[in-house]
Chain A
């Protein structure tokens, strides 16, 4: 089963044949897919429950072709949905039924790696990990490391402001991008940011990060490269109680330590991962923390000592420190494989992405356990604990009647709780189509209206990725009314 998208509130009166004809004039034949069978693989992203066929799929090979596509679409007022590797988890790259799905996957050249300025200029379809691989000979790497880094693209990373397990110390995508070159919906070339550290005028570069393909189509990105630390080591601490693990996270920060990575997994996640990856995790623990230190050998030794002391004092039942680079990578491999590992245990899962203040991690975990019983669905938890970013993985079977609906309601409750705890509905995966209704939980009508104004500043006719990211005001009203009718208390006026 899949939720056929009733999501794009707005229809666009597009003449498909006219659109195909015009695109054929400006593109080589192999750059267009028009048969249903050929378009099928493009009908969803990582949020597979939501599927939609576009009118046409376009596969530009360079910026010029992308530009030509946009000009045609703008002229014919046809929606455009950009797509990278489609690893997105919020449906951001799901096609629009009246529009063109534009895959940037063929724009995959690393244009330049400059070890002196510590930057790389890459096309949007370049995979995240390839940037670090290209920079490795110079002792440099690209710091943001989403767990999907072997597949996801830089264009998609910018569009989602992707994070990784090391972003507590090294920042999110927005902190590691200097310049984005892109196309407006009119097909005009624009540069946001530059090769310096700032640009004149408003910080449009910051706006582009996390804009989910709604403001511009990204065609080139200059990223910052970071010198590889001399040494990195990771501590794994086991806890017999999730509360102790949650409090340990706050205690590490309170001790003035900013770990290079600070991740948490609960028992279900450990049990999903261990048989799959043999990472060496403690199967008896209720929760484990992975806490990384990097720097000079002296610095790491000192910091690992301090981390270990805090973890012991916080009631860890077991502590292990990686002894060499191989072991460190093995410890991380488990965490990075958490989603596919859970995927093996269940036909389908929904990945939530709320962020909350760290001090409420344990409370949230207990609340999720309660919801898991209420909805009779299993849930494994992996958290970017250092950032307070949660990834509860709600397991369900779409072939069982009612399970998807239950999973969605379970997820919505987690997001509502995230807002009530002083956090947000999405930390790094984006709103896309998945969380569009819940936006009303976090923003007032006036705030949503401001987002629409901001969008219109870039895209007057609303052609870039319509129906994603920001709900219509009508939907917000519906949501608020429905919520007011239910027992739950509204969280914000």
Chain B
């Protein structure tokens, strides 16, 4: 394993002196996300395996190349899991890719995102140094919170080598309910329920149907089901439904047309944008098929959020940009941070923003 890292240190030094970029690749399951890979591929999937896992500490540490499926299986054996339900987007998905992409699944609004569960990281920097930040404990304010900074940084700050995550027990009981309801009323209801102590762990509205998932202690789930009414989904259907949202295998996501992700305040009204929409996270995540890039970005900003061109061909990505442009002072801080971790600009150059 250490030989692998030595080899990469050499690759990084070579790329730096040649002024080239390295495209870091775990399982390649999220290669579609962000701007296209650029430079020589650095395969990191071989650096894998769980390093430490103690269920009573609620912490797992694994090498970044560990397949997510392997990690999930090890946790499930102990009745635990990654509660933010990270999308895999393919069997090859790795832990490192999960953190670098920073994507979370249906439970995000209820429990938090990837970044909320990262406790520590070991990274290989652009200067070829192996650095550790954070740790394996729940509370840690020694030094800046670099582990959380890594979440969603798309590999632009270094090669993730090891990741420590907080894990939680699996919910005891789960029930999914369906309601026939229009978009505006669904948004209103979701926000109203959000202000009550209800065990809602996921929500999705699409095409006139709202689906809710309740999770928690059996008694709490039963009480909420009585209060909310709604039509109960058979368990197998419910599991398949939430999985199809997490993995984007639901019919809404089919086809090659562009897919936009709007991250908005949950209370933002129904967006008057053309194209089919699917709403998650109590209104805070809204998917949109097709549409005019500029109108979408403007609408998202006006509503207090931002829009990501989640899936599209390279030409559209190049013209529209994948991520919402940053205001000047923030862009400056981004460039400075990139420089601090990767002074020669070796890692995933341009994957997130031009110049990063």
1/0 per residue B130-144: CB within 8 Å of A?
011101111111111
Supposing A356-B137, A388-B138 touch, asked if A200 and B306 sit within 8 A by C-beta, the answer is yes
- A456 CA / B332 CA spacing, docked (Å): 12
Give the contacts of B54-109 with A (CB-CB under 8 A).
54-59, 79, 102, 108-109
Instruction: Provide the residues of chain B in CB contact with A439, threshold 8 Å.
Output: 142-143
Chain A residues within an 8 Å CB radius of B329: 184, 188-190
B29 contacts partner chain A, Cβ-Cβ < 8 Å? no
Asked if A202 and B137 make an inter-chain contact with CB atoms under 8 angstroms apart, the answer reads no
Distance in Å: Cβ of A59 to nearest Cβ of chain B? 26
Q: Which single member of A116, A172, A197, A204 contacts B195 (CB below 8 Å)?
A: A116
Cβ-defined contact, A295 with B191, below 8 A: no
Once A203-B152, A443-B143 are accepted as A-B contacts, the answer to whether A197 and B353 lie under 8 Å apart by CB is no
Count the B residues whose beta carbon is within 8 Å of the partner chain — how many? 85
- Chain A 218-242, CB within 8 Å of chain B: the 1/0 string? 0000000001111000000000000
Are the C-beta atoms of B144 and A210 separated by less than 8 Å?
yes
User: Does A45 reach chain B (CB closer than 8 Å)?
Assistant: no
A202-B337 CB under 8 A given contacts A174-B145, A194-B306, A196-B305: yes
Instruction: Mark the stretch among A50-58, A365-373, A396-404, A425-433 that contacts chain B.
Output: A425-433
Cβ of B341 under 8 Å from chain A: yes
CA distance A453 to B158 in the complex (A): 14
Report Cα–Cα, A425/B140, bound state, in Å. 8
In the bound complex, how far is the Cα of B136 from the Cα of A188, in angstroms? 36
- The answer to whether residues A206 and B191 also contact, given A296-B219, A357-B137 and a CB cut-off of 8 A, is no
Interface residue? B9 (CB, 8 A): no
Q: Is A13 an interface residue (CB 8 A)?
A: no
Contacts of B151 in A (CB 8 A): 203, 206
Residues of B close to A161: CB separation below 8 A = 141, 145
A314 to chain B, nearest CB (A): 13
Of A184, A196, A389, the residue contacting B265 (CB under 8 A) is: A196
Cβ of A198 within 8 Å of any chain B Cβ, yes or no, is yes
* CA A274 to CA B352, docked complex, whole Å: 56
Map CB proximity to A onto B182-205 as digits: 1 under 8 Å, 0 otherwise: 000000000110111111000000
Please tell me if B324 contacts chain A, counting CB pairs below 8 Å: yes
> A163-B139, A296-B223, A298-B223 given as contacts; is B149 within 8 A of A118 (CB)?
no
**Which of the candidate stretches A21-29, A252-260, A481-489 sits at the interface with the other chain?**
A252-260
A67 at the interface (CB under 8 A from B): no
Is B160 interfacial (CB 8 A cutoff)?
no
Say yes or no: A299 contacts B216, CB within 8 Å.
Answer: yes
CB distance from A187 to the nearest CB of B (A): 11
Cβ A295 vs Cβ B195 within 8 A:
no
The answer to the question of A276 belonging to the interface, with a C-beta cut-off of 8 Å to chain B, is: no
Q: Which of A74-82, A146-154, A444-452 contacts B (4 or more CB under 8 A)?
A: A444-452
| A376 interfacial by beta-carbon distance below 8 Å | no
**A196 contacts B125, CB within 8 Å?**
no
Evaluate contact between B137 and A140: CB separation under 8 angstroms: no
B259 within 8 A of A: no
Q: What is the CA–CA distance of A387 and B58 in the complex, to the nearest angstrom?
A: 10
Which residues on A sit within 8 Å (CB–CB) of B191? 116-117
Asked whether, in the complex, the Cβ of A209 is within 8 Å of the Cβ of B285, the reply is: no
Question: Which one, B110-118, B231-239, B250-258, is touching chain A?
Answer: B110-118
Most buried by A among B116, B132, B197: B197
User: In the assembly, what is the distance between CA of A184 and CA of B333, in Å?
Assistant: 10
Give which listed residue, B263, B304, B333, contacts A204 with CB less than 8 A.
B333
Provide the residues of chain B in CB contact with A194, threshold 8 Å: 265, 304-306
Q: Given A202-B334, A207-B149, A387–B139 Cβ distance below 8 Å?
A: yes
Q: Which B residues are CB-close (under 8 A) to A332? A: none
Nearest CB of chain B from residue A410's CB, rounded to whole Å: 19
CA distance A207 to B143 in the complex (A): 10
Task: Flag whether A250 is at the interface (Cβ < 8 A).
Answer: yes
The yes or no answer to A115 lying at the interface (CB within 8 A) is: yes
Q: In the docked arrangement, what's the CA distance between A199 and B113, Å?
A: 12
Instruction: List, in ascending order, chain A residues with CB within 8 A of B131's CB.
Output: 444, 446-447, 450
| Complex interface bits, A434-465 against B, C-beta within 8 A gives 1, otherwise 0 | 01000100111011001101111110000000
CB of A302 closer than 8 Å to a CB of B: yes
- Check A198 against B340 for contact (C-beta < 8 Å): no
Q: Which residues of A contact B336 (CB under 8 A)?
A: 456-458
Instruction: Out of B115, B284, B352, name the residue touching A196 (CB < 8 Å).
Output: B284
Q: Does A211 contact B (CB under 8 A)?
A: yes
Q: Please tell me if A364 contacts chain B, counting CB pairs below 8 Å.
A: no
Query: What sequence of 0s and 1s flags, for each residue 329-366 of chain A, a beta carbon within 8 Å of any chain B beta carbon?
Result: 00000000000000000000000000111110000000
Among B197, B267, B323, which residue has its beta carbon within 8 angstroms of that of A200?
A: B323
| A201–B142 touching, CB < 8 Å | no
Q: Is B270 an interface residue (CB 8 A)?
A: no
Residue of A nearest to B285 (CB): A197
Asked if A160 lies at the interface with its beta carbon under 8 angstroms from chain B, I say yes
Additional A-B contact list (20), CB under 8 Å, known A139-B195, A190-B327: A115-B195, A139-B196, A171-B116, A195-B305, A196-B263, A196-B306, A197-B281, A203-B152, A206-B151, A230-B197, A295-B220, A299-B220, A302-B219, A424-B140, A424-B141, A426-B140, A447-B132, A447-B143, A450-B340, A458-B333
Task: List, sorted by A's number, 20 A–B pairs whose CB atoms are closer than 8 Å.
Answer: A116-B191, A116-B267, A174-B116, A184-B329, A190-B330, A190-B333, A195-B305, A197-B285, A200-B323, A200-B326, A201-B353, A206-B145, A211-B144, A295-B220, A296-B224, A298-B222, A424-B140, A435-B142, A442-B143, A457-B333
